[in-house]
Amino acid sequence: MVGKLLSLEWKSFTRSASFGKSLGLKIFMIFIGAYFAVMFLFMGIGLYPILKDVYPDKDPLLKLNEFILAWLAFELIFRFFMQSLPVVQIKPLLLQNIKKHKVINFVLLKSLFSFYNILPILIYVPFAIVVTVRSNHSAVSMIAWAVSVLFFSFSVNYFNFLIKKKFAEDLKSFLPAIIFILALAGLEYFDVFPVSEKFGVFLNYVLEMPYLAILPVILSVLFFVWVRNTLKNKFYLDAGLKTKQKEVKSQEFEWLKRFGDVATFLQLDMKLIWRNKRPKSTVFLSFFFLLYGLLFFTNSVYEGMPVMFVFAGIFITGIFMINFGQFVPSWDAAYYQMIMSQNIPMRKYLASKAALISFSIVILTILSTPYAYFGWNILLIIFTCALYNLGVNVPLLMFTGSFNKKRIDLEKSPFMNYQGTGAAQWLVAIPLLAVPLGVFYLCYKVFSFNIGLLAIGVLGLIGIFLRNYLMDRITIQYKKNKYAMIHGYKQTGD
Amino acid sequence: MITATNLSKVYNGTKVLDIDHLEIPQGQNFGLVGNNGAGKTTFFSLLLDLIRPTSGNIFNQDITVNESEDWKTFTASFIDESFLIGYLTAEEYFYFVGELRNQNRADIDSFLMQFEEFFNGEIIGRKKYLRDLSKGNQKKVGIVAALIGEPKVVILDEPFANLDPTTQIRLKKIIKDLSEISGTTVLVSSHDLIHVTEVCERIVVLNKGIIVKDIKTSEATLKELETYFSGEQIPEEVKLSEEEQTEEPKVDNPE
């Protein structure tokens, strides 16, 4: 039975939508996974010498023990935001001849093998080995130590689920726990009582009396049983498995009416953005990336390299354009058939998308005017880049959009989500960024900074003047690819 | 009027639709019946230019559907839930479709009044996104949205599936009135022989993409259809395979 469930699990992982179907994407995801694994491994190996450097007169292991509680608290926060309990996947199993407790046990045990639990192993185990080799702690104590911290980590794993399931609906019942944790953190922070240090004392005892490692194991088992019982009570369609529904308020974005015949679509796009997780997060991300410029404009390293400023300019003013625009029209994938058979001329539909993106560039440009603080040149760069984005990059993204054939689930988080990403998304980055940077760099080297900016600006202006012509060509392209797009968007599995 | 000539659609070497000639006059209540994979949805998708025909053409009021978009102004359809925009409320969806069909809010509000009974209080003012409605209620929204703006052609794929009995009965009346009162051409597909014989003046039976029956509905039609789809299917199949055998050289010859 467990074998069958495991094979289901493997399929759901390898066939999941956010994982993507293309080989390139798989390799990329594996690369990212391997990258983090290696980083943590190095951290595990390197932690001992680092601690020794920083605290030369203390035993690095005992010092680390003092920080473990803080680390676990951080882990809890991290897990809370990143890790999710895959309860919804249980639904198809409800009617099958499998005992409920078996399914729940499986789900909970399975979670131990998630990436988030493998990472701590990659730190603690190498660290324990290094300590055994380089200090006078015995192998037995280090094994006990590693078991303790690992099982603390697993306890956090289940505690996180508990928070998510038991307290998600009823935040009030969780309030005492939050206050308790905040109180502990407060005591620690204001040096009233060193909580983390006292917690470390326990781990020190484990080193002396290895059999104490049984306590964290018992703790994690207790959490396991608690979560299991909680889940068992919620193993009904109307309890834990139900996704929440909120009463919705109708907003009409009436002010968009002034945009004439594309207003209808702009209103729809605004609703698309505000009411769906993925596009909404994309917008928030855009505002966040406004600050990205600080990285460039404040750093003296880039002072002699205005080409990096151009990069920042394109990026800041065009971040929404890039994040949203690269998936046009996949945002409408779920109802693309309807869009295609309704009384919507393709040209108008595309014009509204272009208008929305252009609008975002204008907004982001206005919001980035405070960068004038770093000099008028910076402001000039930002304006010129905005011009280039408006003139060239908007039609460019609209054009590459016609090659989008991958559906997007609007309700999934955009983080680490590569659904909808195809070759077009990677290829478009080249002309999108490389062309303006290249043109600027060339003109800057051959002539001057001003000529460089002028060149990009002129390109942008040409694009703006040709907008109508370009949109006509793009419309033809969309019509040509229409059937392939409809077919692609129907593939829900990918 | 809708005309299909030499229409065929081939997927991976399998012909899923093959219609020599089919004409649906304006104002006809047209029913399409057939088992799964008979080609009903394929035909509707071709008519809506959602897939490209392998050969042949479909004309909607003399407009070749895959060459001009002009048919969109007078054609409305509901194929499945993918025609709904999940993150809108029902009202917002109606207003959106209304705007596409040059109807303002007041028009839509008064238009929706006549469907109050059909909606049964489960659609308007529920403050829910369409994606959170039940399948049946989603269908109600889709069907009514397809009637906005007095389209000349209405295409409904499996409109009766997922609806409760009361709503089915009300829908039958709506569809009948459409062609009788406003002269709309209504194309309906269904797995339910009783509904389709009650509603449609003409019924075409598709089997594996080929028109096997084209019946003007009468008292005897239901019996005839039931006979075709039930136990007597075995001789029917024998007959069909014979037909196929005799047809094959016919197909080969022109090529």
Dig out the tokens for A477 from the structure.
């392209």
CB-based contact B127 A248, cutoff 8 Å: yes
Q: What is the pLDDT of residue A104?
A: 80
Instruction: Write out chain A residues lying below 8 Å of B87, CB-based.
Output: 271-272, 275-276, 410
Q: Calculate what percentage of chain B has a pLDDT beyond 90.
A: 47
Q: What is the mean pLDDT of residues B206-220?
A: 90
Q: What is the pLDDT of residue B43?
A: 93
Q: Indicate if the pLDDT at residue B249 is higher than 60.
A: no
CB-based contact A334 B97, cutoff 8 Å: no
Are B50 and B102 within one domain? no
**Residue B206 covered by a domain:** yes
Q: Indicate if the pLDDT at residue B243 is higher than 70.
A: no
d(CA A70, CA B108): 60
Task: Please report, for chain A, the start and end positions of each structural domain, with discontinuous segments joined by +.
Answer: 2-233, 254-490
Q: What is the pLDDT of residue A424?
A: 66
CB-based contact B89 A247, cutoff 8 Å: no
Nearest CA in chain B to A489: B82
CB-based contact B82 A346, cutoff 8 Å: no
pLDDT bucket at A463, cuts 50 / 70 / 90: very high
Instruction: Write out chain A residues lying below 8 Å of B85, CB-based.
Output: 268, 334-335, 338
Helices first, then strands: H and E counts in chain A: 21, 0
Indicate which CATH number applies to the domain containing B69. Answer: 3.40.50.300
Are B133 and B178 within one domain? no
A104 and A240 in contact (C-beta within 8 Å)?
Answer: no
How far off is chain A from B217, nearest CA to CA, in Å? 30
Q: Indicate if the pLDDT at residue A150 is higher than 70.
A: yes
d(CA A63, CA B86): 54
- DSSP E strand stretches across chain B: 2-11, 14-24, 29-33, 55-60, 63-64, 75-78, 153-157, 185-190, 202-207, 210-216
Residue of B44, B75, B87, B95 to mutate for A, most A C-beta atoms under 10 A: B87
pLDDT bucket at B120, cuts 50 / 70 / 90: confident
SS3 content of chain B, % helix, strand, coil (to 5): 40, 25, 35
pLDDT bucket at B236, cuts 50 / 70 / 90: very low
Instruction: Write out chain B residues lying below 8 Å of A268, CB-based.
Output: 85, 88, 96
Q: Calculate what percentage of chain A has a pLDDT beyond 70.
A: 85
Q: How many domains does chain B have?
A: 2
Residue-wise pLDDT tens digits, B129-175: 898 888 899 999 999 999 998 899 999 999 998 898 999 999 999 99
B201 and B186 in contact (C-beta within 8 Å)?
Answer: no
Q: What is the pLDDT of residue A405?
A: 79
- Chain center to CA of B21: 18
pLDDT bucket at A494, cuts 50 / 70 / 90: very low
Q: Indicate if the pLDDT at residue B250 is higher than 60.
A: no
Q: What is the pLDDT of residue A418?
A: 63
Q: How far apart are the first and last CA of chain A?
A: 28
B7 and B17 in contact (C-beta within 8 Å)?
Answer: yes
Residue-wise pLDDT tens digits, B170-200: 999 999 988 888 889 999 999 889 999 999 9
Instruction: Write out chain B residues lying below 8 Å of A338, CB-based.
Output: 82-85
Q: Indicate if the pLDDT at residue A403 is higher than 60.
A: yes
CB-based contact B100 A335, cutoff 8 Å: no
Q: How many CB atoms lie within 10 A of CB A32?
A: 12
In the beta sheet, which residues pair with residue B156? B78, B188
Q: Calculate what percentage of chain A has a pLDDT beyond 90.
A: 13
Q: What is the mean pLDDT of residues A34-42?
A: 84
Contacts of B145 (CB under 8 A, 6+ apart): B76, B78, B93, B94, B97
**Residue B81 covered by a domain:** no
DSSP B206: E
Q: Considering CB atoms only, which of B69, B73, B82 is closest to A335?
A: B82
d(CA A318, CA B217): 61
A422 and A349 in contact (C-beta within 8 Å)?
Answer: no
Which of A194-198, A445-449, B240-244 is predicted least confidently? B240-244
Q: What is the pLDDT of residue A416?
A: 57
Q: What is the pLDDT of residue B245?
A: 40
Q: What is the pLDDT of residue B251?
A: 37
**Residue B80 covered by a domain:** no
Helix (H, G, I), strand (E, B) or coil at B24: strand
How far off is chain B from A257, nearest CA to CA, in Å? 12
At residue B20, φ and ψ (nearest 5 deg) are -65, -55
Q: CA A40, A45, A51, A53 torsion: positive or negative?
A: negative
C-alpha radius of gyration, chain A, whole number: 27
Helices A346-367 + A277-289 axis angle, to 10? 40
Length of chain B: 255
How far off is chain A from B50, nearest CA to CA, in Å? 6
Nearest 5 degrees, angle CA B231-CA B232-CA B236?
A: 130
Dig out the tokens for B16 from the structure.
């899923």
Q: Indicate if the pLDDT at residue A52 is higher than 90.
A: no
Q: Indicate if the pLDDT at residue A458 is higher than 90.
A: yes
Q: Indicate if the pLDDT at residue A363 is higher than 70.
A: yes
Amino acid A466 reads L
Q: What is the pLDDT of residue A465?
A: 93
Amino acid A29 reads M
d(CA B120, CA B137): 10
Are B26 and B105 within one domain? no
Dig out the tokens for A470 from the structure.
């370009």
Instruction: Write out chain A residues lying below 8 Å of B97, CB-based.
Output: 342
pLDDT bucket at A88, cuts 50 / 70 / 90: low
Contacts of A130 (CB under 8 A, 6+ apart): A44, A45, A47, A48
Residue in the structure block whose two tokens are 């996104």: B129
Q: Indicate if the pLDDT at residue A227 is higher than 60.
A: yes
**Residue B82 covered by a domain:** no
Q: What is the mean pLDDT of residues A303-318?
A: 85
Sheet containing B2-11: order of strands? B14-24, B2-11, B55-60, B63-64
How far off is chain A from B244, nearest CA to CA, in Å? 30
C-alpha radius of gyration, chain B, whole number: 19
d(CA B73, CA B100): 9
Instruction: Write out chain B residues lying below 8 Å of A342, CB-based.
Output: 72, 76, 97, 100
pTM for this one?
Answer: 0.73
Q: Considering CB atoms only, which of B83, B89, B92 is closest to A338?
A: B83
Q: Indicate if the pLDDT at residue B239 is higher than 60.
A: no
Instruction: Write out chain B residues lying below 8 Å of A343, CB-based.
Output: 72-73, 100-101, 149
d(CA B81, CA A338): 10
Are B161 and B40 within one domain? yes
CB-based contact A275 B100, cutoff 8 Å: no
pLDDT bucket at A467, cuts 50 / 70 / 90: very high
Residue-wise pLDDT tens digits, B88-99: 999 999 999 998
Instruction: Write out chain A residues lying below 8 Å of B77, CB-based.
Output: 341
CB-based contact B92 A343, cutoff 8 Å: no
In the beta sheet, which residues pair with residue B137? none
CB-based contact A410 B86, cutoff 8 Å: yes
The residue range of the domain holding B169 is 2-74+152-252
Q: What is the pLDDT of residue A21?
A: 57
Mean pLDDT for all residues in chain A: 81
Q: What is the pLDDT of residue B25?
A: 92
Are B35 and B125 within one domain? no
- On the question of a cis peptide bond just before residue A329, with omega within 30 degrees of 0, the verdict is yes
Q: Indicate if the pLDDT at residue B253 is higher than 50.
A: no
Q: What is the mean pLDDT of residues A76-101?
A: 71
Q: What is the mean pLDDT of residues A224-248?
A: 70
- Long-range (24+ apart) CB contacts under 8 A made by A196-200 are A196/A66, A196/A67, A196/A68, A196/A69, A196/A70, A197/A66, A199/A65, A199/A68, A199/A69, A200/A62, A200/A65, A200/A66, A200/A67, A200/A68, A200/A69
Are B135 and B157 within one domain? no
Q: What is the mean pLDDT of residues A50-72?
A: 82
Q: What is the pLDDT of residue A280?
A: 85
Nearest 5 degrees, angle CA A192-CA A194-CA A197?
A: 175
CB-based contact A483 B50, cutoff 8 Å: yes
CB-based contact B101 A245, cutoff 8 Å: no
Q: What is the pLDDT of residue A295?
A: 79
Q: What is the pLDDT of residue B168?
A: 92
A289 and A316 in contact (C-beta within 8 Å)?
Answer: yes
Instruction: Write out chain B residues lying below 8 Å of A486, CB-based.
Output: 50-51
- Calculate the dihedral angle through the C-alpha atoms of A119, A123, A129, A133, rounding to the nearest 10 degrees: 160
CB-based contact B52 A342, cutoff 8 Å: no
Contacts of B211 (CB under 8 A, 6+ apart): B19, B20, B22, B204, B205
Residue of B75, B83, B126 to mutate for A, most A C-beta atoms under 10 A: B83
CB-based contact B100 A346, cutoff 8 Å: no
Q: Considering CB atoms only, which of B50, B52, B87 is closest to A276?
A: B87
d(CA A236, CA A284): 35
Are B57 and B156 within one domain? yes
Identify the contact set of chain B against chain A, taking CB-CB distances under 8 A.
48-52, 69, 72-73, 75-77, 79, 82-89, 91-92, 96-97, 99-101, 127-129, 132, 149
Which of A216-225, A270-279, B105-114 is predicted least confidently? A270-279
Q: Indicate if the pLDDT at residue B248 is higher than 50.
A: no
Dig out the tokens for B23 from the structure.
């004409």
Helices first, then strands: H and E counts in chain B: 9, 10
pLDDT bucket at A162, cuts 50 / 70 / 90: confident
Q: What is the pLDDT of residue A18?
A: 54
Residue of A338, A340, A487 to mutate for B, most B C-beta atoms under 10 A: A338
Residue-wise pLDDT tens digits, A404-420: 877 887 776 665 566 66
CB-based contact B83 A340, cutoff 8 Å: no
Residue of B42, B74, B85 to mutate for A, most A C-beta atoms under 10 A: B85
How far off is chain A from B2, nearest CA to CA, in Å? 16
Amino acid A19 reads F
Mean pLDDT for all residues in chain B: 85
Residue-wise pLDDT tens digits, A24-34: 667 777 777 78
Contacts of A52 (CB under 8 A, 6+ apart): A60
Identify the contact set of chain A against chain B, taking CB-CB distances under 8 A.
245, 247-250, 264, 267-268, 271-272, 275-276, 334-338, 340-346, 410, 482-483, 486-487, 490
Q: Is B206 exposed, middle or buried (0-12, 13-18, 19+ CB in 10 A)?
A: buried
Q: What is the mean pLDDT of residues B201-226?
A: 90
Better-scored residue on pLDDT, B48 or A1: B48
Q: What is the pLDDT of residue B240?
A: 46
Are B172 and B235 within one domain? yes
Q: What is the pLDDT of residue B232?
A: 57
| ipTM entry | 0.80
Instruction: Write out chain A residues lying below 8 Å of B73, CB-based.
Output: 343
